[in-house]
Structure 1
Amino acid sequence: MTHPRTLIRDSVRLAGFISSILLSVPACAQHAQPLDARFLLGVGTHQGLGGPVSARGYVPAENVAQIKQLGLNSFRDDFPWSEFETAGRRMGFTPILGRLEAQVRSGVARPLLILAFGHHLVPNSSPPTTDEARQRFADYAAAAAQSVVAQHPLFELWNEWNLAAKKDAAFSPENYLALAEAARPAVKRVAPNAPFLVGALGDDPGWTWTEKMLRTGVLQYADGASIHLYNFCMGPSKRTSAEIIDRLTAFHRLVSQASGNADFPIYVTETGWTTATNKCGVSEQAQADNTAQLILWASTAARWLKGMWLYELKDSGRNPSELEDNFGLYRFDNSPKPVACAAQGAWAFIRSSLSAERRELASGVVSINASTASGGRIAVWSEAPDRRYEIRLKDDQEGATFAMPCDSAARPASRAWIPVSSTPVLIAVNNGAIPALEIRPAR
């Protein structure tokens, strides 16, 4: 039989243990990092290709200012082997890479740099298929990493290797594995904290190539798996953020299974919509809405989704019907498209979130419920542009406001029925919990 005093002592100990658990919960919550410390939102740029003057209209001083204005914390660009290693195996930035060097050294954001492309002085290098060519590639990769290590870079192995495989059998999953085996240790020796990404997968219907690549065991030579996701040439009803999210979720499943890790890091290193006036383009408003939705949703997947780069910063040409000319957040003349403020506004709204989850308020109506240190945030949109709803706060919450991503000022949210469309509605409650909403079909 237990002595009463022992019981008392044990209950005091238990109470102390319980209170220490209760005390430790808010302490953990306080240590949760905001999204922008856990997730990279970046943009693709074209400083590394095209020589000292860019035919695509990229000028580092202007582009750095745009990245700053958007508030992004990363950019992705090419770091071509053939321009970095010159005759006599000399490695380093050359005048041809002057634009890339200027943007990297500006410190505007973390660079994600593509280690890629063969070298005209190295046999069997495009792609590297011999031990000698792979060793030469690894030497370049290490020197390239060393040259930018102060800027906290990330590196990606090649660009859309799987698409090149359609025309050239040398771009096999086995050769990609062998290149990763050679390059990653070389990079890690000089930049141990730089994430090394494999995949850079272009469109892969049915995941046939992806599954072959994953079966090689390539993820053991990777800190993350990267993919490019586009749907602009699918049927018009599929050119949505929802379709991108569905495919990304399927890719996440494949990577989780192959790695045995449900949180294996995934990076979407290209995604976006072209506003070209041909059958594959979307309207500038659809480009803006899709992009804002994708940024807001990404906050809910940050356990495994570690970065996303919008393609691309500015239009690469002036032909309104050319697909490749019209992906930009800014036009060729650097004037902003609606997508620029949509991306900026959505990111500003969600970047301080400590946690976020996706819910469905009604069929096809999505809400992203987020907590921040300064209060609740909720973003709402309709995935079906033709279905219109209205929402309002269930309870009056003092100081609650709402805005669209491109609005210059927010309006009071209490007691108002707010129309819901494919443009996200952003509701903020400072010093309050995530608000409960009522929803009804638009009158």
Structure 2
Amino acid sequence: MATKPRRPRRRSRRWGSILFRDDLPWQVFKRNGLDQPGSLSPRLAGMVAATPARPLLALDYGHPAFRKGASPIDEEGRAKFAAFAGEATGAMRASPPMYEVWNEWNLGAVLGRPKLTDAGRPDDPRSAGNYTALARRTVAAIRKADPNAFVLVGAAGEDPQWQWVDAIVAQGAARQASGLSVHYYNHCLRPGYRTATEAIGRIEALRRKLVASQGDKAPQLYITETGWPTTTGGHCDIPRQAAGDNTAQFLLWAAATPWIGGVWIYQLRDQGRNPTELEDNFGLFDYDYRPKPAACMVADVTRIVHGAKRWRVLRQAGGLTLIQLDGAKGRQLVAFAEQQGQVAHLSFAGRPVAARPLCQAAPSAAATTIDVGTRPVVIDAASLSGVPLSATFG
């Protein structure tokens, strides 16, 4: 997991990351009953105490004491859920986390219906209107308990044309929030589309939609779930190195994009050992904590990003992306080809240039041509100001 937070705290030495995301379910916090004082679960409390990383806690899911766990879609339900959110916020003011209102409401507020592909009808519990009413009530309760709380709304699951997300923003769900969060995955698209480039294009399409409807009031975006599972023998297979390349590319682009506030990679460790099961294979590490290529990629990208003061995306024709970073080590360029199998040959007017692929400890010997594939390559550009770049593909 890597992020671009607004209020930094100490970083993990290994990762450079400073945030993690977890659930704070209503029924777990209020496990002794709706009318009894709530508390963190021992597991979450232990995690919060054990790491300097700041948690993003998704306040979510029904409570069995309220209509057998039904989602809160009426006044009574919203009031009870907001009361829980306010109590949880008050309990954590000494070391405040970030908060997120629900998790994928548009997919799971009620089950057993065809997938929601738009804003939803008013009588559908998953509708934008039902979520907006809950989000506004919950944000207000959190703000009452802690006026400085950092609160995200949205946490939208699959939303093909971003109609649900656009609707909750238009209805005011994000008005008092700190930002808007969404999830995006493309691992089951056609093989050529299971890429960071496709994911970036979809997030950019959402930004355009929000700017078209909200202008300069369009909320800051946070990608609180994304990732690529490394299954084998299934219908959505992605090779481990390709998953690592995708992760690195997406994080680099996000770091250089001013309207992206942060990215959370799903997830740290595989949930199981079944090679064909999607949910078993999203980890940066496998089930036995052996690192996949993405683990090193995340660590390297995060170190690079945290060492830079300015970022800029420079897209080139032919499917090449350059990320320009300026920091204490001078200027660096990170280059990557956007499609598997594509290789770009870069030249800076014939000058020898030092470069290294991500996760290679030291640069290779300086060369006049740098070959770049989907694995990002870090180029020492401190002396290249004003030097023209040429790229050929083959």
Please report the TM-score for the alignment, with normalisation by the length of structure 2. 0.88
1:322-347: CA deviation from partner (whole Å, max 9, x where unpaired): 01100000000111101000111122
Shift in Å at residue 167 of structure 1? 3.8
Shift in Å at residue 357 of structure 1? 1.8
Instruction: Give me the whole-angstrom Cα distance separating, in 2, the residues matched to 1:266 and 1:377.
Output: 26
Uncovered stretches (5+) of structure 2, i.e. residues with no partner:
114-123
Q: 1:291 aligns with which of 247, 251, 258?
A: 247
TM alignment of 1:32-431, pairs within 5 A: 36=4, 38=6, 68-85=13-30, 86-87=32-33, 89-93=35-39, 97-123=41-67, 126-164=70-108, 167=112, 169-261=124-216, 264-277=219-232, 278-301=234-257, 303-394=258-349, 401-413=354-366, 415-429=367-381
1:118-156: CA deviation from partner (whole Å, max 9, x where unpaired): 111123762112222211111110121222333342111
Instruction: Give me the whole-angstrom Cα distance separating, in 1, the residues matched to 2:8 and 2:227.
Output: 16
Between the two proteins, the alignment pairs up a number of residues equal to 378
Instruction: Give me the whole-angstrom Cα distance separating, in 1, the residues matched to 2:249 and 2:281.
Output: 20
1:183-202: CA deviation from partner (whole Å, max 9, x where unpaired): 11111122222221111111
Instruction: Give me the whole-angstrom Cα distance separating, in 2, the residues matched to 1:202 and 1:334.
Output: 28
1:350-392: CA deviation from partner (whole Å, max 9, x where unpaired): 2232222222344111111122243101011111222322224
- Is the Cα contact below 8 Å between 2:16 and 2:306 reproduced in 1? no
Root-mean-square deviation (CA, aligned residues, Å) is 2.6
Instruction: Give me the whole-angstrom Cα distance separating, in 1, the residues matched to 2:386 and 2:50.
Output: 41
1:54-112: CA deviation from partner (whole Å, max 9, x where unpaired): xxxxxxxxxxx9x6522211111000110111226223335xx2121111123421111
Counterpart residue identity of residue 144, structure 1: A
Instruction: Give me the whole-angstrom Cα distance separating, in 2, the residues matched to 1:325 and 1:206.
Output: 28
Change in CA separation of 1:193 and 1:281 when aligned onto 2, cut-off 3 Å: farther
Please report the TM-score for the alignment, with normalisation by the length of structure 1. 0.79
Shift in Å at residue 36 of structure 1? 5.0
Counterpart residue identity of residue 364, structure 2: R
Shift in Å at residue 409 of structure 1? 2.2
Corresponding residue number in structure 1 for 2:392: 441
Instruction: Give me the whole-angstrom Cα distance separating, in 2, the residues matched to 1:373 and 1:36.
Output: 18
- Is the Cα contact below 8 Å between 1:395 and 1:436 reproduced in 2? no
Shift in Å at residue 396 of structure 1? 5.0
Residue identity over aligned pairs, in percent, reads 34
Which has more helix, going by share of residues? Answer: 1
Say which one has the larger Rg.
1
Instruction: Give me the whole-angstrom Cα distance separating, in 1, the residues matched to 2:203 and 2:240.
Output: 23
Change in CA separation of 1:435 and 1:316 when aligned onto 2, cut-off 3 Å: farther
Change in CA separation of 1:36 and 1:87 when aligned onto 2, cut-off 3 Å: closer
